[in-house]
A and B are shown apart, each in its own frame.
Chain A
Amino acid sequence: MNFNLIRFIQAAVSNGAPLLFGTSGEILTEKSGNLNLGVEGLMFMGGAFGLAGVYYYDKAAGDSVSVVTATIIALLCAFAAGCLGSLIYSFLTISLRANQNVTGLALTIFGTGVGQFVGEYMRTTSAGSGGFISVSNTLKEGFIASPFPKAMQGIPVIGPLLFSHNFFVYLGIAIALFLSWFMGKTRKGLYLRAVGESPATADAAGISVEKYKYLATVIGGGISAIGGVVYTMTIAGTVWMRDGLSGEGWIAVALVIFCLWRPINAIWGSVLFGGLMLLYLWLPVPFIPSQIYKVVQYMVTTVVLIIVSMRQKRENQPPASLGSAYFREER
């Protein structure tokens, strides 16, 4: 039983990458005061549409297939699917003031259905695949390869820890860093937080509440959906698995709480959660059953939630208007 810490961290990072996207997107959404419980559905949609885009591109391009183009197609398809899904959510909750919890759940039901449907449809309609779709090996390997040169990956310890991950990991970190800078350091970010904390105050200050809520929710949904395609492209090995994605979206919602609504925390938080999800395989302790390992992340999140509410530190609280619709007439 030799536990290789460096290889474990590598596995944790790539397992956490979908969560990093899901969580970053949901943080952006929640900061505007919208609790979108549809992340699960969005990730399913992203995963299925991203895979569909890559699959049909791969078929059309044949031997001249390029990993860069495929990656861009995957990201765009997933992002567009996520934007579309969360646009429905935004229209219902922001313009029509429907209840956010219920709308989010409806989006989860809808999105999971759409994702499963697209996945199944591709599987059953693609001829000669034997009910199993997958893309060419060039792409498969391209998606999980590190963008850094071999020499850098070869550096002991630092190489595998910093330079050996797939492209999506670095993209996720870049998005999280950008969001962190955007929310913390820019005026627009300040406005966004104001909308999430107290829409009435923001409105009085001349900030367009609807615009900020729409943009944050739609873009956030798009980012979350990329998490789905990252899962199918890297962890699932470009194969559509019926229940592969189930639960990822909910873990992302949990991770948002764990990160205290800060994108920068999502970077290490996703590695931690990604690791916790794998720990039962890597470090089995005889007297701790694997099923209990699997709920550790939820327990930790619950404890964080309780402690945060007990300590009442203002900077750690959920956005004050989280979950409630805003209607100017009701101020």
Chain B
Amino acid sequence: MNKKDKAPLIRIAKRSKSVLSPAKVWAIRIASLVIAIIIGGIIFAALGANPFSAYGLILSSSFAKATGRRQVFKLMIPLLGTALALAPCFKMRYWNIGGEGQITMGAMAASYFALFWVDRLPAPVLLLVMCLAGALFGGIWAAIPAVFRARWGTNETLFTLMLNYIAIGIVAWLQGGPWEGKPGSQLIPQFKDKALLPRVMGVHCGWIIVAVLVVVMYVYLNYTKHGYEISVLGESENTARYAGMDVAKVTVRTAFLSGAICGIVGFMLASGTNGSLQSTIANGAGFTAITITWLSQLNPFAMVAISLMMAVLSKGSGNVQTTYGIPASISGIITGIILMSMLACEFFVNYQVFFRRGKEEGR
């Protein structure tokens, strides 16, 4: 920008859609993942661990034994479920970062029935009621900021963020107060067996729900009227309005749907994974899922792969700690590097870079 007769050193232009083939796009994404893994390997090497055996350990501890596989799937279910839940919101350009709170509220509602209705209902009905209650509460928790956004334009990013902590606080209160098991334990008692999700192939059957949801969400986003409305609204609110869509209705409906799925995830965590309710039940899944949803470009099938990768990393890092004495927080570092590298690569998918002396043959 210094002299007018000089072209800028680097010039950036948006690619038109036709320039990159899908194969190339995925090649760029996979290359960025490889780069991130290499950087992680360098960190391992700097810490005195052989990077190949460290990564090998992460993989083998996750997949070699059935117990490892089960743990990975247990970690993966909430991540994938929440990532799917957030997809419609993100497609609408509505930044629901309250997955954490919606999971917690869903888990709370489900736990209410698990704790107080367990003797009054037969098992299948009880589980169904728990699931519906979780969905309802998660949905309402997500719909509150959507109503304010639709009516007054309240910033939903900040609102949903605050609601996370309020939800966690409410459960912390229940945990230490009204729902406390043994006085002074600060714990809610374990659910009775009737209120636990049955296991299928060693893992609670929540994985079946999530697997179905992958397909349902794909169809919902791409082949239904609702999905179409969401994508129009995401592109331009004014276009949606001119086309006669009820913007407020679509916003609140989509947020409710998103929260409801988060609530079901909460139900699965309480009834399947933990068998009880804690204030930390979501354990960051709501936040991690945001990155999964975004990196998968809202494609449910890509979410499966990315959430699997996240689960493997967090499972494997525990073993790295015991074997190499490297703190398990290394998984946060590597996950962060992978996320950032994949975020960066989207730039090269969407934009084209020209250097001053380079041949400018770009279209």
Interface set of A (CB-CB < 8 Å, partner B)? 35, 37, 41, 88, 91-92, 95-99, 101-103, 105-117, 120-121, 124, 208, 250, 253-254, 257, 289-292, 294-295, 298-299, 301-302, 305-306, 309-310, 312, 318, 322-323, 327, 329-330
> Beyond the given A116-B327, A124-B327, could you list 4 further A-B residue pairs with CB under 8 A, ordered by the A residue number?
A102-B294, A113-B330, A295-B168, A305-B158
How far does the Cβ of B362 sit from chain A's closest Cβ, in whole Å?
14
Q: Give Cα distance in the complex from A329 to B347, angstroms.
A: 15
Using known A-B contacts A101-B97, A111-B336, determine if residue A117 contacts B330 with beta carbons closer than 8 Å: yes
> Are B330 and A109 closer than 8 Å at their CB atoms?
no
Is the CB of B153 closer than 8 A to any CB of chain A? yes
How far does the Cβ of B252 sit from chain A's closest Cβ, in whole Å?
16
Contacts of A322 in B (CB 8 A): 155
Is the CB of B343 closer than 8 A to any CB of chain A? yes
> Are A92 and B344 closer than 8 Å at their CB atoms?
yes
> Are A323 and B169 closer than 8 Å at their CB atoms?
no
- Which of B51-59, B123-131, B285-293 has 4 or more CB atoms under 8 Å from chain A? B285-293
> Are B152 and A110 closer than 8 Å at their CB atoms?
no
Using known A-B contacts A302-B159, A306-B154, determine if residue A112 contacts B176 with beta carbons closer than 8 Å: no
> Are B158 and A109 closer than 8 Å at their CB atoms?
no
> Are A329 and B154 closer than 8 Å at their CB atoms?
no
> Are B159 and A305 closer than 8 Å at their CB atoms?
yes
> Are B327 and A120 closer than 8 Å at their CB atoms?
yes
Using known A-B contacts A298-B162, A298-B165, A299-B166, determine if residue A113 contacts B173 with beta carbons closer than 8 Å: no
Closest-by-CB residue of A relative to B167 is A295
Closest-by-CB residue of A relative to B350 is A97
Closest-by-CB residue of B relative to A292 is B173
Which of B95, B177, B279 interacts with A289 by CB under 8 Å? B177
Q: List 24 A-B contacts (CB under 8 A).
A: A37-B161, A88-B340, A91-B344, A92-B343, A95-B347, A97-B351, A101-B157, A101-B290, A102-B291, A103-B340, A105-B287, A108-B287, A110-B332, A110-B335, A113-B334, A116-B329, A257-B158, A292-B169, A302-B162, A305-B155, A305-B158, A309-B153, A309-B154, A318-B155
Contacts of A107 in B (CB 8 A): 336, 340
Q: Give Cα distance in the complex from A110 to B340, angstroms.
A: 9
Contacts of A291 in B (CB 8 A): 169-170, 172-173, 175-177, 279
Contacts of A109 in B (CB 8 A): 287-288, 291, 332, 335-336, 339
Q: Give Cα distance in the complex from A4 to B158, angstroms.
A: 35
- Mask, B287-310, CB within 8 Å of A = 1, is 110110011000000000000000
Q: Give Cα distance in the complex from A57 to B157, angstroms.
A: 41
Q: Give Cα distance in the complex from A318 to B158, angstroms.
A: 11
How far does the Cβ of B4 sit from chain A's closest Cβ, in whole Å?
14
How far does the Cβ of B100 sit from chain A's closest Cβ, in whole Å?
10
Which of B155, B161, B165, B346 interacts with A309 by CB under 8 Å? B155
Q: Give Cα distance in the complex from A202 to B327, angstroms.
A: 46
Is the CB of B143 closer than 8 A to any CB of chain A? no
Q: Give Cα distance in the complex from A26 to B322, angstroms.
A: 37
- Mask, B264-292, CB within 8 Å of A = 1, is 00000000000000010000000110110
Using known A-B contacts A107-B336, A121-B327, A323-B95, determine if residue A329 contacts B162 with beta carbons closer than 8 Å: no
Is the CB of B331 closer than 8 A to any CB of chain A? yes
Is the CB of B163 closer than 8 A to any CB of chain A? yes
Contacts of B351 in A (CB 8 A): 97
> Are B294 and A309 closer than 8 Å at their CB atoms?
no
> Are B344 and A35 closer than 8 Å at their CB atoms?
no
Contacts of B336 in A (CB 8 A): 41, 106-107, 109-111, 113-114
> Are A102 and B343 closer than 8 Å at their CB atoms?
yes
Is the CB of B14 closer than 8 A to any CB of chain A? yes
Q: Which 10 A-B pairs have the closest CB atoms?
A: A113-B332, A110-B336, A295-B169, A116-B329, A120-B327, A106-B339, A96-B347, A291-B173, A309-B154, A113-B333
Q: How many residues of B contact A (CB 8 A)?
A: 53
Q: Give Cα distance in the complex from A69 to B172, angstroms.
A: 42
Is the CB of B7 closer than 8 A to any CB of chain A? no
Central interface residue in B148, B161, B335, by most chain A CB within 10 Å: B161
> Are A309 and B152 closer than 8 Å at their CB atoms?
yes
Is the CB of B38 closer than 8 A to any CB of chain A? no
> Are B148 and A306 closer than 8 Å at their CB atoms?
yes
Q: Give Cα distance in the complex from A193 to B152, angstroms.
A: 23
Q: Give Cα distance in the complex from A105 to B12, angstroms.
A: 26
Closest-by-CB residue of A relative to B346 is A98
Contacts of A298 in B (CB 8 A): 162, 165-166, 169
Is the CB of B337 closer than 8 A to any CB of chain A? yes
Q: Give Cα distance in the complex from A110 to B157, angstroms.
A: 21
Closest-by-CB residue of A relative to B292 is A102
Is the CB of B13 closer than 8 A to any CB of chain A? yes
Q: Give Cα distance in the complex from A306 to B155, angstroms.
A: 9
Contacts of A41 in B (CB 8 A): 336
> Are A114 and B154 closer than 8 Å at their CB atoms?
no
Q: Give Cα distance in the complex from A301 to B323, angstroms.
A: 45
> Are A305 and B154 closer than 8 Å at their CB atoms?
yes
Within 177-192 of B, Cβ neighbours of A (below 8 Å) are at: 177
Contacts of B172 in A (CB 8 A): 291, 294
Closest-by-CB residue of B relative to A324 is B93
> Are A117 and B170 closer than 8 Å at their CB atoms?
no
> Are B162 and A35 closer than 8 Å at their CB atoms?
no
Contacts of B122 in A (CB 8 A): none
How far does the Cβ of B351 sit from chain A's closest Cβ, in whole Å?
8
Using known A-B contacts A295-B166, A309-B148, determine if residue A253 contacts B161 with beta carbons closer than 8 Å: yes
Contacts of A99 in B (CB 8 A): 294, 343
Contacts of A95 in B (CB 8 A): 347
